[in-house]
């Protein structure tokens, strides 16, 4: 479930739609959490889908650390990529604002954290743009992402959290807040070595 202070807006014909803040969202806010309505597809389920459905998953789903495709039911599936993303994850099923996000600003992810099946060119136009997003970007950039996400994680109790009821692993999160060495790193989401995609073979 995506944060209530967001909405879908049309960016441009090239990018399509994106998720924008309707109010300021402070650093440390949980901006998305996996919820009971999000759909999880095991690899064999993906392989059994007709090509048109696999293509939709390729566009709108992400791949978790266990190789499952996760399709968000709400406008969370329209998060766009940025090489300077303002939302990142630590090793749990939620995303944090890693900077203060202004009203009207687009919320972005780094797709390098989401196990992309294939490299793709990036035109995010930020000064941090890597030019391409690669399936193994986690190997090169994971520590940087982790540092940014950890800094936001320890602000969780300092800012309003309208999605807290949705968050899973509450006990583990509380434990990590009390003992930082227990915090799961972002690498927990990394599938490793790229993805052998049944969807790409058929789509």
Interface with Zn ion (CB under 5 A), residue total: 4
Binding mask 42-81 for Zn ion (x = CB under 5 A): ----------------------------------------
The number of angstroms, rounded, from the C-alpha of 158 to the middle of its chain's C-alpha atoms is: 22
Q: Which stretch binds Zn ion (CB under 5 A): 85-93, 117-125, 169-177, 186-194?
A: 117-125
Interface with Zn ion includes 129 (CB under 5 A)? yes
Binding mask 78-97 for Zn ion (x = CB under 5 A): -----x--------------
Provide the token pair at 139.
């190997």
Q: How far is the CB of 150 from Zn ion (least distance, A)?
A: 22
Q: Which is nearer to Zn ion, 87 or 122 (CB)?
A: 122
Subset of residues 4 to 43 that bind Zn ion, contact rule: CB under 5 A = none
Match 């060119």 to its residue by tokens: 121
Q: Which is nearer to Zn ion, 29 or 86 (CB)?
A: 86
Interface with Zn ion includes 122 (CB under 5 A)? yes
Q: Which is nearer to Zn ion, 108 or 115 (CB)?
A: 108
Q: How far is the CB of 159 from Zn ion (least distance, A)?
A: 27
Q: Which is nearer to Zn ion, 6 or 82 (CB)?
A: 82
Among 49, 101, 124, 152, binds Zn ion (CB under 5 A): 124
Strand order of the sheet with strand 39-41? 39-41, 69-71, 62-63
CA contacts within 13 A on the Cβ side of 7 = 7
Binding site for Zn ion (CB under 5 A): 83, 122, 124, 129
């Amino acid at each position: 479930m995506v944060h209530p202070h967001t909405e879908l807006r049309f960016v441009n014909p090239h990018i399509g739609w994106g998720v924008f803040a309707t109010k300021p969202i402070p650093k440390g806010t949980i901006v998305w959490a996996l919820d009971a309505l999000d759909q999880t597809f095991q690899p064999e389920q993906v392989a059994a889908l007709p090509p048109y459905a696999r293509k939709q998953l390729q566009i709108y789903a992400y791949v978790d650390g266990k190789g499952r495709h996760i399709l968000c039911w709400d406008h969370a599936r329209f998060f766009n990529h940025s090489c300077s993303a303002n939302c990142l994850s630590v090793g749990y099923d939620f995303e944090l604002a890693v900077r203060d996000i202004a009203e009207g600003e687009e919320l972005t992810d780094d797709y390098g954290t989401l196990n992309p099946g294939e490299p793709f060119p990036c035109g995010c136009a930020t000064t941090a743009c890597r030019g391409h997003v690669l399936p193994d970007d986690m190997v090169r950039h994971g520590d940087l992402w982790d540092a940014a996400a950890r800094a936001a994680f320890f602000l969780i109790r300092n800012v309003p959290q309208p999605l807290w009821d949705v968050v899973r692993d509450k006990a583990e999160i509380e434990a990590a807040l009390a003992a930082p060495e227990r915090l799961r790193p972002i690498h927990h989401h990394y599938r490793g070595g790229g993805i052998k995609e049944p969807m790409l073979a058929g789509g």
